[in-house]
Amino acid sequence: MAAAVKKPKHSLLMPKATAVWLIENTALTFRQIADFTNLTEIEIEALANEDIGRGLVGRNPIENNELSKEELARCENDAKATLKVARTDLPQVKIRSKGPRYTPVSKRADKPDAIAYILKHNPEISDAQICKLVGTTKPTIGTIRDRTHPNSSNIRPRHPADAGLCTYQEYEKAVNKGLKAAGKDPEKVKAERAAALDTPATQIQQPQDVTGTAGFDFSNFLPKKEPAKVPLDDDPSEQ
């Protein structure tokens, strides 16, 4: 039976910097420091030898209310004791869930065009995937789909990768994911779409003439003839 993985019970704001301070200013063992900072003994030894973290400034856990002086003195006198993080009334830092990607201000005006392109050419991409690709929200997608967007009259569909909102690889990945979710073969659908785009071009044929010159105006390539000069009558006054 595999051993259970030990999960940390607490989290320091700057564990390596705290470890550096404890190494330099206390008589704690590497094991005690490792347990307190949730690092490994190898990392603590590397910090002590400056193999890693060279130039790292130590952070005093006592001044930052993460450790009490009494707790530090207790563990310095007992190498088997484990440091306990001081309790604090401050709320724990909440990790923000991953939301839509950040888009530079200069490119935010391109979002409606990119959304319109996806809705027109790749409707299999879900709204959640569009939010990740473009960095938008579902209400915005809904207004563009329903043509109730304030700027609907000026929206021109444009590929998100061309607008710099995502990469072509990310877009292809979203297309494949959407097609698979719909129970379709991505390669087969792409081949059908490519064939549909090529069909109009192959069906349009230019009329051919037997001579090969009918219907083409060569007048622009022929030398222009100068108008004939009409001789002037003699002046009657000279007669």
The pLDDT tens digits of the residues spanning 76-102 come to 899 899 988 887 655 555 555 555 555
CB atoms under 10 Å from CB of 173, counted, come to: 14
pLDDT top residue among 134 and 227: 134
pLDDT top residue among 163 and 98: 163
CA distances from 226 to 102, 229, 232, 233 (A): 70, 9, 18, 21
Q: Is the dihedral of CA 211, 216, 218, 219 positive or negative?
A: positive
User: Please, which pLDDT band fits residue 187 given cuts at 50, 70 and 90?
Assistant: confident
Give burial (CB, 10 Å; 0-12/13-18/19+) of 238: exposed
Q: Give this prediction's pTM.
A: 0.43
CA distances from 28 to 9, 43, 54, 99, 228 (A): 20, 15, 20, 42, 115
What are the structural domain ranges in the chain?
15-76, 105-200
Q: Is residue 35 scored above 50 in pLDDT?
A: yes
Residue 167's contacts (CB-CB under 8 Å, 6 or more residues apart) are 161
The pLDDT tens digits of the residues spanning 38-48 come to 999 999 999 88
Burial 67-87 (b: 16+ CB within 10 A, else e): bbeebbeebeeeeeeebebbe
Running DSSP on this structure, what letter comes out for residue 109? Answer: G
Interatomic CA distance for residues 16 and 222, integer angstroms: 86
Q: Is residue 169 scored above 50 in pLDDT?
A: yes
Burial 189-226 (b: 16+ CB within 10 A, else e): beeeeeeeeeeeeeeeeeeeeeeeeeeeeeeeeeeeee
Interatomic CA distance for residues 47 and 43, integer angstroms: 6
Q: Is residue 21 scored above 90 in pLDDT?
A: yes
